[in-house]
Amino acid sequence: MAALPGGTDVSVTHKFVSGKADGPDPTLVQPSKWNQNENLGAGADGQKIVRDAGQTDGGSWVNYDPASFTNSTGGTAAIGDVVAVSVAADNAVVLDDTVSSFKKFVVALQVPVNTAVGAYAYAGPVPGVKAQGAIAAGQYVRKSATTKAIEDAGVALGSAVAPPAGTIGFATSAAAAGFVNIFLFPATVAATATVLIGAYKSIGQKSTNNGATPTTKFDLIADQVVCRNPSDGSILVKSAPGTLTVDFGAAGPAALGRDVAGAFGASRFLHLYWIMKTDGTISATVSETAPLTGPALPAGYTHWAYAGAVRWNASSNIIPCYIVGAWTFYTAEQSVVSDGRSTTEATVSCSTFVPPNAQSFKLHGSHVDRSGTTQRVKIRFITTIEFRVIGPTLDVSATHSWELELPQVSQQFFYLFVADPTAGGGLYASVAGFKNPNGGE
């Protein structure tokens, strides 16, 4: 068999060199034999010798690079544990169960108790690594939230997508019984200058109730979507994502379904999101949770973009609407006050039709001026401070129709008349829509 490229023959001799001449009996160990090279036995081409106190002769042939570290995890190590090299103490390992952590991770090869020294695989092919969930051979792996375990990073080795930030290696076998064989990288893949950092947004959004099932399904439609990873701030851009129909009745966390297993309760706002994998797969989900927390993502999805909120009414149906750019517009305006005639400041709640995370809302209103030049209605979003005064007119019976965009402050507004309007001449107001913090246009 040919020698390895760049290799040289290993020569091992005794330090002691005898000056005696060989004796006449060749069956005895001769001084010249004592001085000859020793042969390295066992092992396989490409392996290396390391110190191994557990072996009879004190050494082992291995494929990986091992190192000695002090176990500072607070408990006894188990073979296959994935732990981080400490940045606070020399030659020590600690717990780090942050998903996609950028720290250098090693794998326990022995079972040292806390504060004891043991051997850990530092790089190369490592068998029997503790795993969380399914991992197929050839998938990049990263640290998981499960203590001392790794998980699928969501990208395949050899794909057109670079290994995600936080990747520590790739699987060389499929995970079985909670363990997997991996090739451990010498260093964890960190975010680089080529990773875009930014905010989520949508461009050209025009989403609406699904035509076939408008009460429980919603179609997300946009020209382009920018999804963000809340952990590291990285973004993924998807042009022409198509129509993604989200089924509010599908149990989750699921793509094109809810982000929770249980059904949504009635009479609440629900929040729609585009979601993406690092390989470019795009889908959508619906959640009770607004940004910045965002949805519970299905397995493999790492990024999301906020589409907007819709109203889930008392009958557990979606109130018909369009999300256009940043605005949710009701197809029929929603009444919040009818023939209001208060001459002292009155509070009008809009909480049924304006979500707490809305930036502003559109109000359509009217009143009939029955008091000539003395009749005016005052609109406020901060108590006692006029935002808009509507009227007067010289025409006693004129109807004032108006539209206002009000900042969303506590999901309400205030009004009062300067003079007491007669019956039927009071204030009529409806919410036409609200502005979502989705970065849309």
Calpha distance 239→156 (Å, rounded): 22
Residues 218 and 317 in one domain: yes
Task: Identify which has the larger pLDDT, 193 or 234.
Answer: 234
pLDDT confidence of residue 31? 77
Contact indicator for 306, 294 with CB cutoff of 8 Å: yes
Buried b (16+ CB within 10 A) or exposed e, 369-386: bbbeeebbbbbbbeeeee
- Structure token pair of residue 350: 């809009």
- Tell me if the pTM is above 0.85: no
Residues 313 and 351 in one domain: no
Residues 421 and 401 in one domain: yes
Q: Give the position of tokens 């979601």.
A: 275
Range of the domain at 132: 65-184
Number of domains in the chain: 3
Calpha distance 278→112 (Å, rounded): 37
pLDDT confidence of residue 419? 79
pLDDT greater than 60 at residue 201: yes
Residues 213 and 174 in one domain: no
pLDDT confidence of residue 186? 92
- Strand-pairing partners, residue 159, are none
Domain's final residue, options 258, 290, 324: 324
Residue 195 lies in a domain: no
For residue 32, which phi and psi values (nearest 5 degrees)? Answer: -70, -35
Residues 318 and 214 in one domain: yes
pLDDT confidence of residue 401? 84
Which stretch of 32-41, 113-122, 242-251, 423-432 has the lowest confidence by average pLDDT?
A: 32-41
pLDDT confidence of residue 194? 44
Residues 319 and 397 in one domain: no
Contact indicator for 417, 399 with CB cutoff of 8 Å: no
> Which residue type occupies 146?
T
- Strand, helix or coil at 31? helix
Residue 388 lies in a domain: yes
> Which residue type occupies 262?
G
Which residue, 111, 105, 282, 81, is CA-closest to 200?
Answer: 282
Residues in CB range of 176: below 8 A, 6 or more apart: none
Give tens-digit pLDDT for 243-265. Answer: 999 999 999 999 999 999 999 99
Q: Give the position of tokens 């490409």.
A: 46
Residues 133 and 231 in one domain: no
Give tens-digit pLDDT for 357-404. Answer: 999 999 999 887 655 555 688 999 999 999 999 876 544 566 778 899
Calpha distance 325→201 (Å, rounded): 10
Residue 348 lies in a domain: yes
Q: What Rg do the C-alpha atoms of the chain give, in angstroms? A: 35
pLDDT greater than 60 at residue 312: yes
| pLDDT category of residue 4 using cuts at 50, 70 and 90 | very low
Task: Identify which has the larger pLDDT, 32 or 123.
Answer: 123
Calpha distance 403→349 (Å, rounded): 17
Count of all residues that appear for the chain in the document? 441
Domain's final residue, options 151, 184, 217: 184
Chain-wide mean pLDDT for the chain?
88
Q: Which among 94-108, 249-263, 417-431 has the top mean pLDDT? A: 249-263
Q: Give kind and range of the element (H or E) at residue 307.
A: strand 303-312
- Strand, helix or coil at 17? coil
Domain's final residue, options 324, 342, 370: 324
pLDDT greater than 90 at residue 276: yes
pLDDT greater than 80 at residue 220: yes
Residue 411 lies in a domain: yes
User: Residue 425's domain is classified under what CATH number?
Assistant: 2.60.120
- Strand-pairing partners, residue 139, are 156
Which residue, 172, 168, 127, is CA-closest to 151?
Answer: 168
pLDDT greater than 80 at residue 5: no
pLDDT greater than 50 at residue 148: yes
pLDDT greater than 60 at residue 9: no
pLDDT greater than 50 at residue 193: no
Calpha distance 427→341 (Å, rounded): 6
Residues 169 and 80 in one domain: yes
Residue 192 lies in a domain: no
Task: Identify which has the larger pLDDT, 8 or 413.
Answer: 413
pLDDT greater than 70 at residue 52: no
Residue 46 lies in a domain: no
Residues 282 and 374 in one domain: no
Residue 397 lies in a domain: yes
Calpha distance 83→149 (Å, rounded): 8
Peptide bond into 292 cis (omega under 30): yes
Residues 205 and 317 in one domain: yes
| pLDDT category of residue 440 using cuts at 50, 70 and 90 | confident
The DSSP result for 186-243, as a single string, is: SS-----TTS-B---EEES-EEEE-SSSTTTEEEE--SEEEEE-TTT-BEEEEE----
Q: Which letter does DSSP use for residue 320 in this model?
A: P
Calpha distance 305→265 (Å, rounded): 24
Residues 74 and 170 in one domain: yes
The DSSP result for 253-265, as a single string, is: S-TTEESSSSPPP
Residues in CB range of 139: below 8 A, 6 or more apart: 152, 153, 154, 155, 156, 157, 170, 171
Residue 113 lies in a domain: yes
From the DSSP assignment, how many helices (H) and strands (E) are in the chain? Answer: 1, 30
The DSSP result for 80-94, as a single string, is: T-EEEEPSSSTTEEE
Residues 83 and 152 in one domain: yes
Q: Taking the mean position of all CA atoms in its chain, how far away is CA 344?
A: 49
Contact indicator for 287, 298 with CB cutoff of 8 Å: no
pLDDT confidence of residue 37? 66
